[in-house]
Chains A and B, each alone.
Chain A
Amino acid sequence: MSQQTKGINIVSALKDTVIAGLLSLIIFGPVVGVLLDGYDFTFQGADVAFIVSIVMAGRFAISIFSQTEFGEAFLYRQATKDDGVVVTAPGYKSRMRFIIPIMIVVGLLVPFIASKYVLTVVILGLIYVLLGLGLNIVVGLAGLLDLGFVGFYAIGAYGLALGYENLGLGFWSMLPLAAIMAAVAGAILGFPVLRMHGDYLAIVTLGFGEIIRLVLTNWTSFTHGPNGISAPLPTLFGLEFKRRSREGTPFHEFFGLPYDSAYKYIFIYLILLLVVLAVLYIKHRLTRMPIGRAWEALREDEIACRSLGLNHVLVKLSAFMLGASTGGLAGVFFATYQGFVNPSSFTFFESALILAIVVLGGMGSTIGVVIAAFVLTVLPEMLREFADYRVLMFGILMVVMMVWKPRGLVRVTRTGFATRKGSAK
């Protein structure tokens, strides 16, 4: 170091601290300090002082840290890092490739080593992986902001429950049917509204999600309203996973095993894992197919797409329908896993959570979405003691992510192509 270090300027740090303290006083003073008591109020000075002192101590620590040599280097790295998209060299193979077979093997082993409770949490995580992947097609690839994704999730879940009750259709027939139903719902919603852009589309889809929930709540003669409705379990070639079966023998009797309620979760888990792996593979292929490239091009510039002969409405519609059908699949698994659905599972908060998974994971990134889905569903389960602070922590996590990695956990890469001899036809 040729230049001498500046040293730590305590005065400026104290100045920052006082300003932060005053700001927090303005915010927390009325909110925390004034406790209404009938028409009267009491002043809770101690609470305010406690919170303000925490804020001031934190600000002082940050000020000092950012003036140290290490802190300066850290800030410099944050300010100058290149977090953009990169194109990989042709024939590039990730060093992390070995992780895929390991993850598949671990995934297959989970039901046989984990407890029933852990298994249910992992199933929930996988359902959110599916939802995240579905929304990732719509938001991450095609760039359409969809705030009503939970509507398709609800269609899948209620499709299974109502299809069983009214038509006697089981899990296996409803799994593809629900995906088709959700895709059709996506098409019906999408065709008129996909001519809109950005904010308008977000409002319309938000409305769609709420409409679905309100219909499920209020159409009591069909959906049983807020009381909910029970959903069937999957069967293994006709063998049921119940203690007693009305027709035929249940699974445990057929194989001469003692009854264990974990069997059904193991079975659901294994089907779900296969579906997730299939969706992951399809997603991987889609980005290398004309349709996937068209989605991304549409996200980049719609007018240019039109000038190249792409029908922007149909391209968007295909993304919307494919995303919706994935949401429908997730809904079927959710219903069969819970054994019961009611409209309170399909609130706007769910949509926001799925969107958060996509944003945290990185728009368009598959691995990022998988990680983010597990983090956002498994973490709240592990931190049950802090249940009251769940939304607060969620908010803090979002803010930290936006500062630290605004483009998501995993950096998006594009595949490079080897140079070849060009020929026109």
Chain B
Amino acid sequence: MSQENILEVKNLVMHFGGIKALNDVTFDIKRGSVSALIGPNGAGKTTVFNCLTGFYKATGGSIMLHAGGKSTSVVKVLGQKFSAADFTSPVRLIERIKYKMFGGSHLVNRAGLARTFQNIRLFKEMSVVENLLVAQHMLANRSMVSGILNTASFKKAEEEALQRAFYWLEVVHLTEFSNRLAGELSYGQQRRLEIARAMCTNPEIICLDEPAAGLNPSETEALASMIRVLRDNHNTTVLLIEHDMGMVMNISDYIVVLDHGEVIAKGGPDDIKTNPKVIAAYLGAEEGEEVSL
């Protein structure tokens, strides 16, 4: 694999009826980087995320994910409409039908991209450990027979899953809460658990949607160091949406700025800080609005 980019987004277009939420968005994410997607409210950041993770079907453009030793087209695995060319080639037709029947955003995750949500989506009435075990569904021993008979190989697979779950609980400092219900945790703990849950799927790139929202300054600091741990110790590329400029500038290697569905700037934190377009987008014509860039 020659790919130094893990994610390549080209000419991404997303329309909701007559509203053009994204217009020709193009950017690449380098393997092993911490990248941030920023922009004012309503700029289309979460729409980009939902397209990347397969929750929205992009109207146009391409998203290529180079992970797990292969390249996956996120648009294709969601199942596209039939085109005339499909009916000339049985192979393409079968593939198309396969993705139409069994495709979906879960294939994006299996291809190596995990995500968290802006409004936390944990399994609230399941215990913390169980949340992490569900995330390992694709790695687990799913055989019905060995599960019902509780065979040795099943026990071994479960034990491994539990060890992985406790490993991630240690990383996010939640070991002592392992047998609590996920819904009982505090807000900051739930955010950390969601990151741990996403990491349990063994992704190569993790997309964090506003991970620092609602956290106090010390929790934000802890989060930033945790993100560095993900990148340095687990070779995970991190892509995040964030409004906390201090944190973004602090941890990001690369920043993409969106405004009105278009990329207005890309580059390192220093370039972005001084970019007049970015300052105009954030400050607009208003005066006195304090943005600590």
Contacts and interface: CB of A to CB of B under 8 A. Distances in A.
Contacts of B110: 309
Interface in B115-148: 115, 117, 121-127, 129-131, 133-138, 140-142, 144, 147-148
A417 B129 contact: yes
A314 B115 contact: no
B124 A419 contact: no
A304 B123 contact: yes
Interface residues of A, number: 41
Interface in B169-183: 169-170, 175, 178-181
B187 interface: no
Interface in B153-205: 160, 162-170, 175, 178-181, 197-198, 201
Contacts of B117: 303-304, 307
A303 B114 CA distance: 13
A308 B134 contact: yes
Contacts of A282: 148
A350 B132 CA distance: 39
Interface string A297-321: 1001101111111111110000000
A285 B201 contact: no
Contacts of A423: 163-164, 167
Contacts of A420: 162-163, 166
Nearest to B102: A311
Contacts of A312: 104, 106
Interface in B227-259: 234
B35 interface: no
A422 B163 contact: yes
Contact of B147 (A285, A310, A417): A285
A296 B168 contact: no
A425 interface: yes
A290 interface: yes
Contacts of B150: 285
A309 B72 CA distance: 15
A257 interface: no
Given A290-B137, A309-B110, A304 B122 contact: yes
A87 interface: yes
A229 B38 CA distance: 70
A289 interface: yes
A47 to B, nearest CB: 48
A291 interface: yes
Contacts of A424: 164, 167-168, 234
Interface of A: 84-85, 87, 89-90, 281-282, 285-286, 288-291, 293-294, 296-297, 300-301, 303-314, 414, 416-417, 419-425
5 contacts: A87-B127, A301-B121, A301-B122, A308-B106, A419-B175
Interface of B: 53, 55, 102, 104-107, 109-110, 114-115, 117, 121-127, 129-131, 133-138, 140-142, 144, 147-148, 150, 160, 162-170, 175, 178-181, 197-198, 201, 234
